[in-house]
Amino acid sequence: MSPRSDTAAPPRAERDPAVVPPVAGGPSRRAIAIAFGLALGVLLLVVVVLLSQHGRRLAGTNNIYDRYTVVRLAAGGETCDHEETIPAGTAFVRLTVDPAGTGAPLTLQLRDASDRVLARGRLAGGWSGQRVDIPVPEVRRTLPDANVCIAAAGKLWLRGYSAGDVRKGTDTNGKSSPDSIRLAYVRAGSETWWSILPAVAHRMGLDRGRLFDGTWMFLAWVALLLALAAVVTVAAVRGLSAAASVRRIPAAGWLCALVALISGTAWALATPAFHVPDEVSHFASPSSAAGCLFVPTYRSITAFCVAGA
């Protein structure tokens, strides 16, 4: 005996409001999947092409903006920037010059905290442009608390920003300043982004605490991005309805929440703590430790402490 029509199970689209019923004349699910696959394929091809391009790559920077001129050297003058961390693999030290133009010969010294010379570099006269790369012997291991000293045979103006501390600033012809020179450390030769992935993975695992240190952080970040792509693909191909979330939390809502969670976690792993110059101020504004309130100002952080704290 066949079941009655009024007791038969309703179609799936009626049972699950998260599923969009097919629209007459609209694209089929297969067509949507093919279009989405082609878009992902093009995106993947673009990423592969970009990462395969050759060029000089940075080993690191001193995380200082090049906002204004901080050092004005006359012919024969010298300036030293203090407490620099010079990463392993550095083969050029890049300066930002203001105003741009043809310059005189430059010499550069890398010194340790006791002012002992570790390496020397020289650039012949006739250079031009706003960014100048001075070659040095390749740094084999990271040099902490180093001093970078630059001397010029002619006028040289260098750009940078305030370091907020005279100990981290510059000494120019014996005069100390809290301003610091913008310095970038460039690797030797021409490399693709693929070739420096091991260095990127190593850097992403540094200074994250005992629990989160290690190259596995990079692998976890890649895995999260792949998971994010898979979730977005499923959501797009299924054609989930956002309107259904008004009545209840459908699969669309859970997928959107999962996308946000994975994306936020991935970028939190990719960005080290205090990675950018203003991150310290972002942290200091709401912080209160040991009875002190740390208030960020334009160029520094001022601590207001309670007596006896």
Domain tally, the chain: 3
Sheet-wide strand order for 288-289: 288-289, 292-296, 301-305
Same domain, 85 and 168: yes
199: part of which helix (H) or strand (E)? Answer: helix 197-204
pLDDT tens readout for residues 24-67 = 555 677 777 788 788 888 988 998 998 888 888 888 888 888 88
Residue 200: per-residue pLDDT: 78
Same domain, 51 and 199: yes
Taking each helix axis from N to C end, the angle separating 197-204 and 216-238, rounded to the nearest 10 degrees, works out to 100
Per-residue confidence at 73, pLDDT binned at 50, 70, 90? very high
Nearest to 82 by CA among 172, 145, 158: 145
Q: What is the pTM of this model?
A: 0.61
Domain ranges, residue 156: 58-187
Same domain, 83 and 171: yes
Task: Check whether 174 has a pLDDT greater than 50.
Answer: yes
Look at residue 296 and tell me if it is in a domain.
Answer: yes
Same domain, 146 and 168: yes
Same domain, 214 and 167: no
Same domain, 180 and 294: no
Look at residue 80 and tell me if it is in a domain.
Answer: yes
User: Residue 188 has which token pair?
Assistant: 């030797």
Alpha-carbon separation of residue 291 from 11, 125, 302 (angstroms): 65, 55, 14
CB 185 within 8 A of CB 75: no
Look at residue 19 and tell me if it is in a domain.
Answer: no
Residue 265: per-residue pLDDT: 77
Task: Check whether 75 has a pLDDT greater than 50.
Answer: yes
At which residue do the structure tokens 């703590």 appear? 273
Same domain, 95 and 214: no
Q: 254-285 burial string, b = 16+ CB within 10 Å, else e?
A: ebbebbeebbeebeebbeeeeeeeeebeeebe
Same domain, 146 and 99: yes
Q: 176-185 burial string, b = 16+ CB within 10 Å, else e?
A: ebbbbbbbbb
Same domain, 50 and 197: yes
User: Residue 288 has which token pair?
Assistant: 């209160």
Same domain, 47 and 95: no
Per-residue confidence at 273, pLDDT binned at 50, 70, 90? low
pLDDT tens readout for residues 126-151 = 898 889 999 999 999 989 999 999 99
Same domain, 170 and 69: yes
Same domain, 76 and 136: yes
Alpha-carbon separation of residue 248 from 20, 71, 231, 307 (angstroms): 15, 63, 20, 55
